[in-house]
């Protein structure tokens, strides 16, 4: 048999999805599985976006420009202007989701074996994108005790080698919900300028910031014209994950011109997705207000309820719709599997994502899980009860 590639063998599988077969089995047994494990919002997309697809003026489904539909790019310039960021149309390249934006940026910026420093825990697919593009993610560990704030800059300094080409953050963060402060971003600015590195910020959760906090984009910092690269997406902003539209935003002209070669090779981002994304720019303000209010209510309920369970600690996330939670178990991977395989409470169980998959340092986050508050409060209530009962039953099971 012809051999598959070493890269394919080393490609990590998703820590969020690896428990799916156990959930499927539980469902076959008639157990209701409450999904706290996945970031697929249950919020409806804005009506303006859906109407634009329904009312397409033409049957002409042609390729668009490789860098995206120009009226959509202009629309995004306006969107950024409303977020205090002045850009030109040529600073924005439309991509097939934030995912393609990350792969294109890695391909355009890095040579084989180059290193990128990323605070961990981080969005697990960064590992997959790094494998695809032959680069190495070097984790800088943030701690739950510190609510996942930016690790000390000295920790980054220690890990810088001649191979280091970039620092990457996710702001607000999936999986921790942490929102970086201006002071932290200024510290990152200083270190990238000192070592001549790119600063990549995955800002796909920008709209989801709570308690009056406003997100700060790295594009707002002066002096980073050549260094700053923002990854953007409509997946979460408008609850349009399936539209597959994202963007790379940078004022680095040379980078944009090499990115064009990658963009041209894959022809163009999806046409239908761009129609919906352009229309979504006209989403009324009330849509975001309602969505935010819903997430805040869910977060407040979930964090408070989790912290009431003995031995559980959940920092209060300032953004996104995730939290990393410390559980009174030694091995959360095993516990999460056990919840699906062995446990049910009044016909329900709960599925969580073990946090170890969001760390790249081996054996880190072993007693942590990531939860996503993408369920209605009534469902979250059932999930918290199932988790609490599950922890109790698991303790007995372990002490047997
Ligand atoms: C932090 C982060 N970045 C990027 C993505 C990729 O999103 P998409 O490719 O749907 O734009 C996701 C999706 O969950 C994410 O959570």
Q: Is 309 exposed, middle or buried (0-12, 13-18, 19+ CB in 10 A)?
A: middle
Judge whether 340 and 351 are in contact, CB under 8 Å. Answer: yes
163 in the same domain as 180: yes
Mean of the per-residue pLDDT values of the chain: 95
103 in the same domain as 11: no
Taking the C-alpha atoms of residue 355 and residue 325, their distance in angstroms, rounded to an integer, is: 9
User: What burial letters (b/e) apply to 369-392, b meaning 16+ CB within 10 Å?
Assistant: bbbbbbbeeebbebbbbbbbbbbe
Q: Which tens digit of pLDDT belongs to each residue from 289-338?
A: 999 999 999 999 999 999 999 999 999 999 999 999 999 999 999 999 99
In a domain, 94, yes or no: yes
Q: Which tens digit of pLDDT belongs to each residue from 152-204?
A: 999 999 999 999 999 999 999 999 999 999 999 999 999 999 999 999 999 99
Judge whether 385 and 345 are in contact, CB under 8 Å. Answer: yes
Q: List the structure tokens of 214.
A: 């406003």
Q: Is 38 exposed, middle or buried (0-12, 13-18, 19+ CB in 10 A)?
A: middle
291 Cβ neighbours under 8 A, 6+ residues apart: 43, 207, 239
Q: Verify whether ligand 1 is closer than 6 Å to residue 204 (CB atom).
A: yes
173 in the same domain as 190: yes
381 in the same domain as 331: yes
Q: How far is the CA of 339 from the centre of ligand 1 (A)?
A: 27
139 in the same domain as 34: no
Q: How far is the CA of 346 from the centre of ligand 1 (A)?
A: 34
In a domain, 1, yes or no: no
Q: Verify whether ligand 1 is closer than 6 Å to residue 246 (CB atom).
A: yes
Domain residues for the domain of 25 are 6-44+286-399
Cα 340 to Cα 26, 209, 344, 350, 381: the distances in Å are 6, 32, 8, 7, 18
Taking the C-alpha atoms of residue 230 and residue 27, their distance in angstroms, rounded to an integer, is: 40
134 in the same domain as 155: yes
In a domain, 23, yes or no: yes
Q: How far is the CA of 202 from the centre of ligand 1 (A)?
A: 8
317-244-120 Cα angle (round to 5): 35
Q: How far is the CA of 241 from the centre of ligand 1 (A)?
A: 9
The pLDDT of residue 40 is above 80 = no
Domain with residue 143: its CATH number is: 3.40.640.10
Q: Which of 85, 69, 125, 107 is nearest to 247 (CA)?
A: 69
114 in the same domain as 227: yes
* Global pTM value: 0.96
SS3 state of residue 21 = helix
pLDDT of residue 58: 84
Which one of 219, 245, 280 terminates a domain? 280
pLDDT of residue 17: 75
Q: How far is the CA of 126 from the centre of ligand 1 (A)?
A: 10
Taking the C-alpha atoms of residue 156 and residue 183, their distance in angstroms, rounded to an integer, is: 16
Which one of 245, 280, 315 terminates a domain? 280
245 in the same domain as 310: no
In a domain, 25, yes or no: yes
Interval 351-368 mean pLDDT: 93
385 in the same domain as 331: yes
Q: What is the DSSP letter of 3?
A: P
Q: Verify whether ligand 1 is closer than 6 Å to residue 98 (CB atom).
A: yes
Domain with residue 350: its CATH number is: 3.90.1150.10
Q: List the structure tokens of 62.
A: 């042609």
SS3 state of residue 122 = coil
Q: Verify whether ligand 1 is closer than 6 Å to residue 37 (CB atom).
A: no
Q: How far is the CA of 186 from the centre of ligand 1 (A)?
A: 25
Going 134 to 230 to 228 to 69, the CA torsion angle's sign is positive
Which one of 280, 299, 320 terminates a domain? 280
Closest ligand 1 atom, residue 123 Cα: 1
Name the domain count of the chain.
2
Q: Which tens digit of pLDDT belongs to each residue from 207-245?
A: 999 999 999 999 999 999 999 999 999 999 999 999 999
105-70-239 Cα angle (round to 5): 65
207 in the same domain as 71: yes
Interval 142-148 mean pLDDT: 95
Q: Verify whether ligand 1 is closer than 6 Å to residue 20 (CB atom).
A: no
| Shortest-distance Cα residue to atom 14 of ligand 1 | 39
SS3 state of residue 348 = strand
338 in the same domain as 250: no
Q: List the structure tokens of 324.
A: 């990393």
Taking the C-alpha atoms of residue 312 and residue 327, their distance in angstroms, rounded to an integer, is: 5
pLDDT of residue 15: 73
Helix (H) or strand (E) holding 383: helix 377-399
76 in the same domain as 216: yes
Closest ligand 1 atom, residue 100 Cα: 9
């Amino acid at each position: 048999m012809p051999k598959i590639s070493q890269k394919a063998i080393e490609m990590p599988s998703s820590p969020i999805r690896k428990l799916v077969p156990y959930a499927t089995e539980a469902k076959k047994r008639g157990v209701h599985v409450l999904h706290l494990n996945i970031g697929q919002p249950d919020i409806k997309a804005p009506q303006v976006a859906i109407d634009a697809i329904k009312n397409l003026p033409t049957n002409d489904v042609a390729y668009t420009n490789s860098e995206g539909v120009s009226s959509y790019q202009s629309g995004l310039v306006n969107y950024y202007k409303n977020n205090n960021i002045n850009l030109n149309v040529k600073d924005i390249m439309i991509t097939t989701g934030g995912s393609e934006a990350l792969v294109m940026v890695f391909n355009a910026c890095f040579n084989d074996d180059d290193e990128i420093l990323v605070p961990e825990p981080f969005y697990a697919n960064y590992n997959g994108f790094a494998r695809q593009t032959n680069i190495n993610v070097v984790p800088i560990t943030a701690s739950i005790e510190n609510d996942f704030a930016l690790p000390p800059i000295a920790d980054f300094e220690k890990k810088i080698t001649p191979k280091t080409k970039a620092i990457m953050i996710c702001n607000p963060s999936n999986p921790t919900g942490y929102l970086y402060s201006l002071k932290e971003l200024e510290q990152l600015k200083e270190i990238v300028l000192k070592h001549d590195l790119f600063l990549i910020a995955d800002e796909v959760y920008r709209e989801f910031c709570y308690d009056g906090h406003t997100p700060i984009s790295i594009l707002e910092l002066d002096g980073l014209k050549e260094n700053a690269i923002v990854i953007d997406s409509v997946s979460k902003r408008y609850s349009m994950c399936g539209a597959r539209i994202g963007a790379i935003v940078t004022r680095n002209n040379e980078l944009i011109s090499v990115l064009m070669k990658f963009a041209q090779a894959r022809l163009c981002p999806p046409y239908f997705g761009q129609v919906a994304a352009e229309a979504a720019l006209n989403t009324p303000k009330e849509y975001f207000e309602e969505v935010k209010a819903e997430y805040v209510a869910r977060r407040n309920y979930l964090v408070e309820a989790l912290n009431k369970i003995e031995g559980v600690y959940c920092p209060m996330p300032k953004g996104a719709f995730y939290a990393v939670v410390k559980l009174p178990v030694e091995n959360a991977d095993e516990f999460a599997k056990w919840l699906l395989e062995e446990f049910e409470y009044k016909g329900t169980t709960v599925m969580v994502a073990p946090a170890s998959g969001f760390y790249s340092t081996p054996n880190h986050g072993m007693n942590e899980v990531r939860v996503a508050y993408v369920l209605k409060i009534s469902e979250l209530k059932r999930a918290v009860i199932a988790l609490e009962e599950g922890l109790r039953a698991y303790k007995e099971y372990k002490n047997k």
